[in-house]
Every structure is written in C-alpha cells, then in structure tokens.
C-alpha cells in the first residue's frame, strides 16, 4: 500500500471514529444532560429526551375545549406535548381538583397496544390519566423517593374521577406486583396482550428502528431462532411474549376482580367493545360508542371525534414489518401454544383469538 493510500485510509478511519464519538455525545446530552427541575415546577414541564429539552405544558385558554367535570382542557394527543392543558388555580380549587394516587394501572408487554389504550381512556370524562409513564414501581431510584413523589406525577382529578397511570414495563418488572399491592391495596390492573408472535415481530421491528448496535440481528429469524433451527428461548422478544410466566406473578397478588386482561388484536381492529368492558370494570359511566370513532386512513389507527378530534400519535415513522417465513411462524406458534393454554387457565378467559393458534 502506497503512502498516499495509507494516509487516505487513516483519514477515513479517523473521520468515522470522530463522527461516531460526536453522535454518541449528542445522543447523551439529549437524553441525560437535561437540567433537573424542582418538584414545584416539574408539574408544568415535560422532560422530552428525544428533543433534548423540557417542553412547557399547555395552559388552557378561551379557545380550548374545557372538560366541564374535569380538571383540564383537551388538546390533541401528541408525543411532544401533554394531552391536556392545565386549568387556573381558582378553577382547580372550585372543582376540588387534587393529585391523587392511581386507582388503576395499565401494564403490558411492549408493542401490545398500551399507548393506544392510554390515549383512548384519557378522553373519558371520568378518567384522569397521568401525564407520562412514571416508571415508579420498577425503578428503585424513583420508588425510594416515596408515594408523595409518585402522587405528584399524577394528573389533577376530581373526587368522582378514576386516576390512571400507564407504565408497560411494570408487566415484567421483578417485585413490582408485590410493591404495588403493599402500597396501593385497592388498585386495579389493566393488562393488554396481543398475539405473541405478532407482538414479538413488532418488538423486533421497533428495536431495529432505534438501535445503534452493530451486532443487532439482521433478520427477525436470527433474533428468535438458533443457528441450528431451534427456538431461541433466551430471546427478549419471545420472553416478553410468554405472558403466562408474568401473569402468574400478578395473579398471586391480584385476584381476577382486580386484574382485567384485554385482547389487543380485536382492540386494534375495533376498540369500542374492549373500552366498554373497561368502563364496567372501573365502575364509570358509559362514554365510548362506535359513533365517536373514525379510522385514520393514513395511520390505520382509530381516532376519537369526541370531546375533540384526536388520533393515537406516532412518534416516528415505522418501517414495514419484516417478512417472516411460514416455517418460522409455524415453529413459533407451536412454541407458544402450551404457554397460551397456561394463560387461558390462569385468566379463565378462553375467548382470546390467539389462544387456539
């Protein structure tokens, strides 16, 4: 190799290394080096790591649609702004609005439909949904700060409303059911699940989009199958779809009357029947009917038209799901069949579509 070639090669390598270091630094500063805010201000700001800054919450004004029986005004669902605006202090006092500990918690494996479920429930007038995912019960650094800190993460609610928070990762967090039941003995759990194979594919697709890992599996098959053609039981994508393993832990502490399982597949096609089940489960008045939903032809998601028009937001474009061979799909469905049967027995709920696959 000539001196010129060596010099060009060295320059190219140094350029790539410098670029990689710069990207890592920018990602770090965007997600970690945000200034902390005191508790009395944090209720007005949302720490958006993807934008590397705090975003001011929306304050209600005369053009907003105000919920007459709630503690907020409505804003269209968005991944960069709070779903609801804040009312004046005088109105909060007049309506007996306080931050209350949750009476229900939404959990579920990643890509099961927890975000869509949260979005729809947020617009029910008898529900006060937490601003963001608190990650309280599965993060020791949060849990150690105590219930008062947790309460401040909730939205203002009236005495007749049900306060709900959503953190999907509670689903598989070690020791989470025990911590919740010890501190919130009357809380109810909403868990959404979907076809375990489809969920695993969606999970892989999501990670493929955001990963910077050079060794990330190039195909879904590589991620869930071993080199000699067996199911990789250690694959994170399959572990999170093994619902019976985690549901068993929850049911040790939450009896069926306090644990509602939701089938994410029919929910995605038509959310109304499942939302009506949840209304009965929570003991709140009927609100969700077919006539207040329309399907967005672009995203494929259902959108609410009442109290305002609002769709489930997409934080980033998702690539099409990878094509998976029929043989791998059949192998995975065979793998999950006994696990699904265990789940059906645990839930006494044989009606989930994919139980019979």
| Helix (H), strand (E) at residue 247 | helix 243-251
111 is catalytic: yes
Instruction: Assess contact for 112 and 264: CB atoms under 8 A.
Output: yes
Which pairs from 130-133 meet CB under 8 Å and 24+ separation?
130/102, 130/154, 130/155, 130/163, 130/164, 130/165, 130/166, 131/46, 131/57, 131/82, 131/83, 131/155, 132/46, 133/165, 133/166, 133/167, 133/168
Query: Dihedral through CA 167, CA 242, CA 259, CA 165, nearest 10?
Result: 10
Is 354 annotated as a binding-site member? Answer: no
Burial class (CB within 10 angstroms; exposed 0-12, middle 13-18, buried 19+) of 94? exposed
Q: Is 184 helix (H, G, I), strand (E, B) or coil?
A: coil
Q: Pick the catalytic residue from 6, 99, 111, 295.
A: 111
C-alpha span between 273 and 351 (Å, rounded): 13
The candidate with the shortest Cα–Cα distance to 243, out of 259, 261, 227, is: 261
Is 202 annotated as a binding-site member? Answer: yes
C-alpha span between 14 and 323 (Å, rounded): 37
Q: Please list the residues that pair with 302 across neighbouring strands.
A: 295
What number of residues does the chain have?
357
Known binding-site positions: 202, 302
Catalytic residues, by residue number, are: 111
């Amino acid at each position: 190799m000539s001196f010129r070639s060596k010099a060009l090669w060295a320059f190219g390598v140094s350029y790539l290394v410098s670029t990689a270091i710069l990207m890592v630094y920018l990602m770090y500063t965007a997600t970690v080096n945000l200034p902390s805010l005191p508790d009395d201000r944090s209720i007005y700001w949302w720490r958006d790591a993807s934008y590397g800054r705090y975003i001011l919450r929306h304050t209600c004004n005369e053009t907003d649609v105000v919920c007459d029986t709630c503690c907020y005004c409505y804003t269209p669902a968005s991944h960069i702004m709070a779903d609801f605006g804040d009312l004046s202090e005088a109105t909060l006092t007049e309506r007996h609005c306080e931050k209350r500990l949750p009476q229900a918690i939404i959990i579920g494996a990643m890509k099961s439909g927890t975000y869509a479920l949260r979005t729809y429930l947020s617009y029910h007038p008898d529900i006060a949904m937490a601003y963001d995912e608190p990650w309280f019960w599965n993060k020791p650094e949060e849990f150690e700060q105590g219930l008062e800190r947790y309460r401040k993460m909730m939205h203002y609610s009236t005495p007749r409303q049900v306060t709900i928070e959503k953190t999907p990762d509670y689903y598989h967090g070690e020791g989470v059911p025990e911590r919740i039941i010890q501190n919130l003995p009357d809380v109810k759990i909403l868990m959404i699940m979907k076809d375990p194979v489809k969920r695993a594919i969606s999970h892989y697709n999501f990670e493929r989009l955001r990963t910077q890992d050079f060794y990330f599996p190039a195909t879904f098959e590589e991620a869930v199958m071993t080199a000699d053609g067996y199911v990789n039981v250690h694959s994170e994508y399959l572990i999170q779809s093994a619902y019976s393993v985690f549901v068993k832990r929850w049911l040790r502490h939450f009896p069926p009357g306090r644990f509602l399982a939701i089938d994410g597949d029919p929910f995605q096609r038509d959310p109304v029947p499942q939302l009506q089940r949840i209304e009965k489960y929570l003991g709140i008045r009927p609100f969700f009917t077919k006539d207040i939903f329309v399907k967005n032809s672009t995203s494929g998601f259902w959108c609410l038209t009442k109290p305002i028009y609002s769709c489930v937001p997409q934080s980033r474009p998702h690539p099409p799901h990878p094509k998976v061979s029929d043989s791998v799909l059949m192998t995975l469905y065979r793998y999950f069949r006994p696990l699904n049967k265990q789940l059906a027995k645990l839930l006494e709920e044989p009606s989930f579509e994919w139980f019979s696959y």
